Amino acid sequence: MVRRKFDYPQNGELIIGTVKDINPYSVFVSLDEYPGRVGMIHVSEVARKWIRDVRNFVKKDDKIVCLVLNVDREKDHVTLSLKRLSENEKNKRLQTWKRDEKGEKLLKVLADKKRMTLEKAYEEIGFDIQENFKDMLEVFELAMRKGKEHIEERGIPPSWSSDIKEIAEEKIKIKEIKIEEDVEIRFFSPDGLERIREILMDAGKKNGVSVSYISAPKYRISVSTKDPKEGERILKKSLEEIEMDVKKNDGEFLIQKH
């Protein structure tokens, strides 16, 4: 179970909770990231419309995203809201939660490698990961893609970075994606098709892009990559070079709008 550094959430925080009890005027939610803590949603904070029965909106054991409205530590009282969050905000928070869960599993592997408990690993590095990265999986992904130096720049000590990179390379399988653009290329000389073929073949050799014929004068330029940003950079560079070569030879070049 993913946990946080502090005993209570902060006002304005989006938390993941499990519905534990429902009555006509309130919903009680176990705060998954804060063991032992329970929050309360008043019926007026469940939905933006009139409510006949709270159970039409939430059910026992539902996993939900809530906004923290107020925290009273002395009374051990956490007030929550459902209605103040958009569906997009809820979905994004759930996605982050899933990535945190995957990251915690890797943190457990890291703890075992270091011969320590998961709780100790949280104290040593886990909470720092939460503070310095978007989610707990990101540090492992970056270590694999960019190298351990990249995560050291973000505050990960060298005593941990090598093991993080090693575990990431062993456990994470990143799917390859394809990034592509459709272009139009025209030459009005008799050897136009030959010029196009040479330019596109040259682009493929230099940058590793793939070229496919759609229908004259349309072509698809694509790159397969596990790093979307790097793939976009390669594709952009290839398109710029193709455009320069085409126009240098008095041809026409156009990227099609999608």
Tokens at 210, concatenated: 């793939």
| Tens of pLDDT, residues 151-166 | 999 999 999 999 999 9
Q: Peptide bond before 217: cis, by omega within 30 degrees of 0?
A: yes
Q: How far apart are the first and last CA of the chain?
A: 43
The answer to whether the beta carbons of residues 143 and 151 sit under 8 Å apart is yes
CATH topology of domain 89-171: DNA polymerase; domain 1 (1.10.150)
Mean pLDDT of 1-8: 94
Q: Write the class of the CATH domain 14-84.
A: mainly beta
CA-nearest of 136, 179, 183, 143 to 160 is 143
Query: Where exactly are the structural domains of the chain?
Result: 14-84, 89-171, 177-255
pTM above 0.75, yes or no: no
Mean pLDDT taken over the chain: 94
The answer to whether the beta carbons of residues 223 and 229 sit under 8 Å apart is no
- What type of residue sits at position 119? E
At 258 the pLDDT is 61
Mean pLDDT of 190-196: 91
User: What's the CATH number for 177-255?
Assistant: 3.30.70.1130
The CB-based long-range contact list for 147-156 (8 Å cut-off, 24+ gap) reads 155/128, 155/131, 156/125, 156/128, 156/129, 156/132
The answer to whether the beta carbons of residues 195 and 228 sit under 8 Å apart is no
The CB-based long-range contact list for 90-94 (8 Å cut-off, 24+ gap) reads 90/64, 90/65, 93/14, 93/16, 93/65, 94/16, 94/63, 94/65
